Structures are given as C-alpha cells and as structure tokens.
Amino acid sequence: MEETPPKGRTPGTLYIVATPIGNLDDLTFRALKTLREVSSIACEDTRRTRKLLTKYEIQKRLISYFRPKEKQKMARILSLLEEGRDVALVSDAGTPGISDPGFLLIKEAVSRRIRVVPIPGVSAVTAALSASGLPTHRFLFVGFPPPKKEAVKKLLKSLKEESGTLVFYLPTRKLALFCKLIQEILGERSVVIAREMTKIHEEFLRGKPGALMNALPEGNLKGEATVLVGPAEKSLS
C-alpha cells in the first residue's frame, strides 16, 4: 500500500535538476530558477555543488546525499518534503539517477505520493551520442561495466546481438583494456571515446578498438569517459 502524506499538510516537491558536466555555463535558465527557489539542495559532493552555486550567487542549505549512504540520508530529505518544503536533487555532474545517486530517493518519494519534477538538461549520454557519428535511432545505455575483467567479458558477450549503439561510462585508466576486450569479443566495430566533454580539452577519439588502443594519450589518465560502441556492420545493412 502506498503511504500518504500527513493529513492537512501538502508535501513539497522533489526537483530532479540536471547540472553541467564540465562547463558551468551549461546550466539551464529553469534549473537556475529552481535552485534559487527551493529550500534545500541534496547533492553528492557539497564542495562541487557549492562551486556551481557560487558562480550564480546562490546560497542554500546543502544536504550531502551520496553512495553508499543514500538510505541513511533519505530520512532527512523526505522529512523536509513532507513538511511542505521543496528540495532539489543534483549530482556532481549531469542528470541525477543516471549512474548517479537518486533512484532510491525518487522511488521512495513516488511511493509517498510526493510530487517529483524533472528539470532536464545536460547528460553525458546524450551529449556524446549527438556528436559521435554513430547510429542514434536505437541505443542501449549500459552505464559502468563491472570492475572485474571476467565480469566485463561476460557482459560484452551478452551484448553481441544488440543492434543499437552501446553506451558505457568508464574510468579513463581502464580505456585501453576495455578497447582490447571490445576487439576480442565484439570485433572491429566503430568506437567513439568522448573525454572532457564541454571542457577546454574536450576530445572525441573515433576508430576501431585496435587503433584506439594506440591513439590513447600516454600517462595515467584521470576522470571518466563515455565510450560508444557501434552496432555490428551487418546490423546497418
């Protein structure tokens, strides 16, 4: 049975606010207005969010909401919402809930009949797809592959027959190994690696996995990348 808000009290609204993935100018007008008007902002890293708020001269109460302590943090956020206060949920970058914290809170808010409103904006998935040059009429967002090599191989084998473009998030230090596994299991498909999107050193590397292994910059790469794998050639014919 769904829970209902306390009698005589209208709950607040939980806003799911997309924030920039790098370039702080990518914040939408609606997101800016929402962040200015809510009573509190739930965020992954208060330092990252405060940097964004400082640019736009916003001062708000911040609530730390991050993995793996989402369940412990939810009670405070839900309490504010049930008191009638509006709360914005943001992640460190992009759209909350897309391989970022948010799902558990949103699910619980929905079960309590609290209004949940998306404030759309930047997402690394759609940003990378739009500039990739790979088919976009069908795609499968896979997110972060499992950490162990054998588990990654098993995952890729399960995706061999997928006819759409595959989209992964990956720590950049694992790019070379991932390209090797793509070549080994999926074959010489078209691959696009999107790094530092919207930032000064934005880079799109395009090619077959074997060639990309040699094209990757030397040194210990930091951060995360979006990796897109095109469908098998027979799927495009």
The pLDDT tens digits of the residues spanning 139-193 come to: 999 999 999 999 999 999 999 999 999 999 999 999 999 999 999 999 999 999 9
Asked whether the predicted pLDDT for residue 4 surpasses 70, the reply is no
Q: Of all helices (H) and strands (E), which one includes residue 181? A: helix 175-185
> What is the per-residue pLDDT for 7?
55
Note the maximum CA span of the chain. Answer: 65
Asked whether the predicted pLDDT for residue 220 surpasses 80, the reply is no
Provide the percentage of residues in the chain whose pLDDT is more than 90.
85
Return all residues near 14 (Cβ < 8 A) that are at least 6 apart: 77, 81, 86, 87, 89, 105, 106, 109, 114, 115, 116, 117
pTM: 0.90
Distance separating alpha carbons of residues 125 and 230, to the nearest angstrom: 14
Any idea which residue has 């997928």 for tokens? 162
Asked whether the predicted pLDDT for residue 3 surpasses 50, the reply is no
Which class for 25: exposed (0-12), middle (13-18), buried (19 or more C-beta within 10 A)?
A: exposed
Which of 57-71, 105-119, 210-224 has the largest mean confidence?
105-119
Homologous superfamily (CATH) for 124-236:
Tetrapyrrole methylase, C-terminal domain (3.30.950.10)
Query: What are the structural domain ranges in the chain?
Result: 13-119, 124-236
Dihedrals φ, ψ of 98, to 5°?
A: -95, 90
> What is the per-residue pLDDT for 8?
58
Homologous superfamily (CATH) for 13-119:
Tetrapyrrole methylase, N-terminal domain (3.40.1010.10)
**What number is the average pLDDT over the span 104-130?**
97
> What is the per-residue pLDDT for 18?
98
Q: Please, which residues bridge with residue 89 across strands?
A: 16, 42
Q: Please, which residues bridge with residue 40 across strands?
A: 61, 87
Asked whether the predicted pLDDT for residue 6 surpasses 80, the reply is no
> What is the per-residue pLDDT for 85?
97
Average pLDDT in the chain: 93
Question: Helices H, strands E: what count in the chain?
Answer: 9, 10
What pLDDT digit, counting tens, does each position of 29-70 carry?
999 999 999 999 999 999 999 999 999 999 999 999 988 888
Of 46-60, 122-136, 179-193, 219-233, the least confident: 219-233
Kindly provide the b/e burial profile for residues 92-106, where b requires at least 16 CB atoms within 10 angstroms of the residue's own CB: bbbbbbbbbbbeebb
Distance separating alpha carbons of residues 220 and 222, to the nearest angstrom: 6
